[in-house]
């Protein structure tokens, strides 16, 4: 099992989807899995039950994933509970990394799905990204591989992933 981790907006889901399609592999996205199981959007779950509850169901769902080649993880997932230990024990993982500026640009294109960001203005978003990455980096850097994605297309990232010594 290969886990893709990294900040919201870095492109984990797009990369996982394309990789799965190209190599005929099975992929899932932890947010999609939660939305299906709880029949509610991530936004609704945050609104109705709060982040602590979300982190619990996110961690529970991570541990139930079986027989999948690529798992695209929610941005906060590696940084809560013992999720990063679990990921490291259960498979290999890749941290897709991007700068604050790049993330801000990418996130501005997909705000509707992001409850932690959608009500913030640009300056607040930038500060949120900067401060949150600072807190999360210590978890992310425990990944087996780090790919710097600034300025890269999805295909460029795929080429880098395909050159890693990993099996799916």
Contact set with ligand S3P (CB under 6 A): 8, 31, 42, 74-76, 114-116
Rounded distance between C-alpha atoms, residue 145 and residue 1, angstroms: 14
Q: At its nearest, how many Å lie between ligand S3P and the CB of residue 15?
A: 12
Instruction: Report yes or no: 142 and 91 within 8 Å, Cβ to Cβ.
Output: no
Q: At its nearest, how many Å lie between ligand S3P and the CB of residue 8?
A: 3
Q: At its nearest, how many Å lie between ligand S3P and the CB of residue 107?
A: 8
Q: Give the pair of three-digit tokens for residue 26.
A: 């099975």
Q: At its nearest, how many Å lie between ligand S3P and the CB of residue 115?
A: 5
Half-sphere exposure of 37 (CA within 13 A, CB side): 15
Q: Is 24 or 64 the residue whose CB approaches ligand S3P more closely?
A: 64
Counting Cβ atoms within 10 Å, is residue 124 exposed (0-12), middle (13-18) or buried (19+)? exposed
Instruction: Report yes or no: 116 and 95 within 8 Å, Cβ to Cβ.
Output: no
Q: Is 109 or 167 the residue whose CB approaches ligand S3P more closely?
A: 109
Report which of 10, 11, 22, 23 is spatially closest to residue 168, judged by C-alpha positions: 23
Q: Is 21 or 135 the residue whose CB approaches ligand S3P more closely?
A: 135
Q: Is 27 or 165 the residue whose CB approaches ligand S3P more closely?
A: 27
Q: At its nearest, how many Å lie between ligand S3P and the CB of residue 69?
A: 18
From residue 25, how far is each of 20, 69, 100, 125, 154 by CA, in Å? Answer: 4, 6, 31, 35, 17
Q: Is 22 or 47 the residue whose CB approaches ligand S3P more closely?
A: 47
């Amino acid at each position: 099992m290969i886990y893709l981790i990294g900040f919201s907006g870095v492109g984990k889901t797009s990369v996982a989807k394309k990789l799965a399609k190209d190599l005929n592999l099975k992929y899932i996205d932890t947010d999609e899995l939660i939305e299906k199981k709880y029949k509610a959007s991530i936004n609704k779950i945050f609104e109705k039950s709060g982040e602590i509850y979300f982190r619990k169901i996110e961690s529970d769902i991570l541990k139930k994933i079986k027989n999948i080649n690529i798992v695209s993880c929610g941005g906060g997932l590696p940084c809560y509970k013992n999720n990063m230990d679990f990921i490291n024990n259960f498979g290999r993982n890749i941290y897709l990394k991007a700068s604050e500026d790049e993330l801000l640009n990418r996130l501005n294109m997909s705000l509707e799905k992001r409850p932690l960001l959608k009500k913030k203005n640009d300056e607040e978003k930038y500060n949120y990204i900067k401060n949150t990455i600072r807190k999360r980096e210590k978890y992310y850097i425990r990944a087996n591989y780090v790919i710097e994605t600034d300025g890269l297309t999805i295909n460029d990232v795929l080429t880098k992933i395909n050159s890693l010594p990993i099996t799916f």
